[in-house]
Amino acid sequence: MYNDQPIGIFDSGIGGTSIWREIHQLLPNEKTIYLADSKNAPYGQKSKQEIIALSMKNTDFLLKMNCKLIVVACNTATTNAIQELREKYDIPFIGIEPAIKPAANNSRTQTIGILATKGTLNSELFNKTTEMFQDTKIIEQVGYGLVQLIENGQINSPEMTQLLQSYLTPMIEANIDYLVLGCSHYPYLIPQIKKILPPHIHIIDSGEAVAKQTQNILRDKVGFSSETKKTPIFYTNTNPKVLSEILGGNYLVEEIDF
Ligand code: DGL
């Protein structure tokens, strides 16, 4: 079974490109359409109802582009809206959730840290997940300000270092041995985070798992593309400069109103 329609991917901004990268690497023959709703970022401080409405707006756009499957490349949108998306639309959705399970299962100190948005940490879905790991101490920290700095192109700024230090120091002191990055923007901070954390602390995110899950759904339900090597398409509703830069200037980014 083949299906040549594109895969749609959306995020509140540029962070979901960390997920797009994993998908594109694993499935290079698939055509991908990436939608960055940067005008409305950050989603992390918005209400559940607002996050649902924005996720539906993004989905409507990607469905108009004839997507065969949608990857919600945003932990905040997944944990707050994926159930409503699945109820409303007749298309497979793949979401991204913080990788609590592998961190808790492998932790030797039985203490792990998670850095995510307020929307993710307060969500019912996230709290249901953490309840399953009662034996592990989970230190939750909202990454206030991090998404805004990334969206402004200030990944390597002194403000970023300062914020990261203030969020990670209490986790180091609490003896975590795993740090879960629970926001798709945060993998872009790994070089800075590594400078702060001692080397024995593992950093994990969910990008690779999402790409594998996409591959499974294509194989079992939707169908792979029959053609080879497709050029990805990137859309943003703000100035395309930062998105283009984070992609290494290798792809065309189109600014559109949506
Ligand atoms: N990148 C998103 C996430 O994974 C959302 C960040 C935000 O817009 O607050 O949570």
Q: Is 67 a catalytic residue?
A: no
Same domain, yes or no, for 117 and 190?
Answer: yes
Mean pLDDT for all residues in the chain:
97
Q: Is the predicted pLDDT of residue 47 greater than 80, yes or no?
A: yes
Ligand 1 center from residue 50 Cα (angstroms): 13
Res 1: pLDDT: 84
Our count of domains for the chain comes to 2
- Domain of residue 38, residue span: 7-96+207-255
Q: What is the dihedral of CA 131, 188, 218, 94, to 10 degrees?
A: 40
Asked about 183 being catalytic, the answer comes back as: yes
CB 8 near ligand 1, within 6 Å: no
How far is the centre of ligand 1, averaged over its atoms, from the C-alpha of 110 (Å)?
Answer: 27
Q: In terms of Cα–Cα distance, which of 57, 96, 79 is closest to 181?
A: 96
Q: How far is the CA of 51 from the centre of ligand 1 (A)?
A: 10
Is residue 229's pLDDT more than 80? Answer: no
The CATH code of the domain that includes 174 is 3.40.50.1860
pLDDT, one tens digit per residue, over 84-115 is: 999 999 999 999 999 999 999 999 999 999 99
123 and 91 belong to one structural domain: no
Encode pLDDT of 144-196 as tens digits: 999 999 999 999 999 999 999 999 999 999 999 999 999 999 999 999 999 99
Same domain assignment for residues 198 and 105: yes
